[in-house]
A = this chain, B = another copy of it.
Amino acid sequence: MPPVKPRSSAPLYAQIRQLIVAALAAGEWRPGDALPSEAALAARFGASAGTVRRALDELTAAHIVERRQGSGTFVATHAAPRQQFRFLRLVADDAASGFARQLLGCRRVRASADVAHALTLRTGEPVIEVRRLLHRRERPVVLDELWLPERHFEGLTAEVIEAHPGTLYALFETSFGVHMVRAEEKLRAVAATPQTAALLGVQAGAPLLSVERLAYTYGDRPMELRRGLYHTDADHYRNELN
């Protein structure tokens, strides 16, 4: 990894931030690994400790790395307890409790036009389609359908999913080297179709919260399209606005 170009227009801390992300994308450090110390990174990039620190500050804010005073700086991982439901904003109206997962299907299909467009693939390229149901208190609350580009997820089968105890994002990390960094969601209210109503245990036509999520890995590359239908009678989608 070369040192930083001195004549570039972008601030040094931004260049260092990008170089660290590039190293993460290249797999130099894996989720959960410790990064070199701030002093070591400063030496590597030929910058002062304060400048490296600023780059790490921003990566910490973006949940790309995680700092632990006294121990070091670590690559963020969806396996960490805090990150478990980082992207699932559905919470119970009363006291929270976890979800039980039920896999409905996992198969290789050809990307439809809209799936391909979202994932920047060509229509008809192979994608893996997963369908699942999440239950809370023995009742179905989320019907999820998601698509992944097959070339990054070769070998993902129902058996692999069933055998994995953690979240899907943790599985993507450990088994496929794909770490999701951020996501964009589009929410709408829709009416349950007869099929979705049956799966979620509601009447056809009942209102459901539709959540379409596009998740990105390092370098803003879209890697997962997800369409969820949330039953929001006893749960709600929680959001904070700044």
Query: Which of B185, B205, B230 makes the CB contact (< 8 A) with A239?
Result: B185
Interface centre among A186, A207, A236 (most CB of B within 10 A): A207
B86 near A189 with CB under 8 A, answer no
A60 to chain B, nearest CB (A): 11
A63–B191 Cα gap in the complex (Å)? 37
Closest 6 CB pairs of A and B: A188-B232, A207-B207, A189-B207, A189-B189, A187-B237, A189-B209
* Cβ-defined partner of A62 (8 Å) among B62, B236, B238, B242: B242
A213 — nearest CB in chain B belongs to which residue? B241
List chain B residues, Cβ under 8 A from A233.
188
Q: In the docked arrangement, what's the CA distance between A88 and B93, Å?
A: 23
Q: Can you list 22 A-B contacts (CB < 8 A)? A: A61-B242, A63-B242, A89-B241, A182-B240, A182-B241, A183-B240, A183-B241, A184-B238, A185-B240, A186-B236, A186-B239, A187-B187, A187-B237, A188-B209, A188-B232, A188-B236, A189-B189, A189-B209, A190-B232, A191-B207, A207-B207, A213-B241
Is the Cβ of A236 less than 8 Å from the Cβ of B187? Answer: yes
Residues facing B in A51-83 (CB within 8 A) are 61-63
Interface string of A218-242 (1 = CB under 8 A from B): 0000000000001011001111111
Contact with B along A14-55 (1 / 0, CB 8 A): 000000000000000000000000000000000000000000
Whole-angstrom CA separation of A230 from B188 in the bound complex: 9
- Closest residue to A216 on the B side, CB-wise? B241
Chain B residue, CB-CB nearest to A57: B57
Whether, in the assembled complex, A206 has its beta carbon less than 8 Å from a beta carbon of chain B, the answer is yes
* Shortest Cβ gap from A9 to chain B (Å): 15
Q: Is A115 an interface residue (CB 8 A)?
A: no
- The answer to whether B238 and A185 have CB atoms under 8 Å apart is yes
A153 at the interface (CB under 8 A from B): no
